[in-house]
Amino acid sequence: MRTNHLWLKRITKLGLILMMGVSMGADAGLFGHTMSWKEEVLLHDGSKIIAERYYNLGGYPAIESQERAALDVTVTFNLPGTNKKIVWKTDYDQAKPEPNSLNLIRLDVVKGVPYIATYPAGCIAYNKWGRPNPPQILFKYENEQWKRITLAELPSELINTHANVIVGQPAAKLLKSFYTVEGVNAENHDIDEGPYKTILREAYAGAGGGCEELIKYKGYWIMPNDPVARGMVDRKTK
């Protein structure tokens, strides 16, 4: 599995989680610190739409990093058969208290209604979203906005369907401006089956992925009832 899809890799030390963004990619043309591309999206009924992906990028999260960290991502597409433009956006600022930091798995339209499936990108995001199991966050486009829905509210046509968008992003040096359906599938080829690639119906044994339950304490994410971590934070915030 590609390292940027190890979404719940344990990164704790003495119970303290450093508030870092999720590492992502860079640009088709590399103009400034952005990346963008278009891709064909194969819907459940066999029809296709074109989605545009756009990333704002920050610095390199570590000395050995090959890719810049993503600051936010925007996905734009037209509702099939119309000129109505739909936009979905997420950011990767782990310091924000509200839930964020999602990676897109699937985009689809059922009976004229857009749906998306995502997973939390990292341990902090997983805790922000309430440690879901199946470990996926689902949305429906309703009243001109994206509304989180339960698995029971997701159309049955989409249960157990696979990723139909590039999960994460291509390597910056190999980035293309346009990906066909075959190109999307090729990019996702090395991703393991499971919550990274499939909309699951049942609870997933590895949903936690090694991520401990965390609480936010003075701007840091720590394990509950961990006096060592609390002491470290107290010293940092004096």
Residues 48-68 pLDDT 10s: 999 999 999 888 877 887 788
Mean pLDDT of 207-223: 78
pLDDT band (50, 70, 90) for residue 25: very low
What's the domain range around 127?
3-236
Q: Is the pLDDT of residue 219 over 80?
A: no
Q: What does the pLDDT average to over 166-194?
A: 91
DSSP bridge partners of 220:
217
Given pLDDT bands bounded at 50, 70 and 90, which one contains residue 20? very low
Structure tokens at 17: 């989680």
Nearest to 114 by CA among 76, 152, 163: 76
- pLDDT tops 90 at residue 230: no
Predicted TM-score (pTM) of this structure: 0.81
Is it true that the peptide bond before 134 is cis, omega within 30 degrees of 0?
A: yes
**Mean pLDDT, rounded, for 105-118:** 97
- What total of structural domains would you count in the chain? 1
Comparison of pLDDT for 68 and 186, the residue scoring more: 186
Report the C-alpha gap between 145 and 89 in whole angstroms.
Answer: 11
Q: Is the confidence at residue 31, as pLDDT, over 70?
A: no
Q: What is the pLDDT of residue 19?
A: 36
| Pairing verdict, β 34-42 and 113-120 | unpaired
Q: Among 121, 133, 193, which residue's Cα sits nearest to residue 160?
A: 193
pLDDT for 2 = 44
Average pLDDT score, the chain: 83
Q: What pLDDT does residue 60 have?
A: 82
The per-residue pLDDT for 137 is 96
CA distances from 87 to 31, 43, 135, 202, 206 (A): 22, 17, 23, 29, 31
Give the count of beta carbons closer than 10 Å to the beta carbon of residue 39.
24
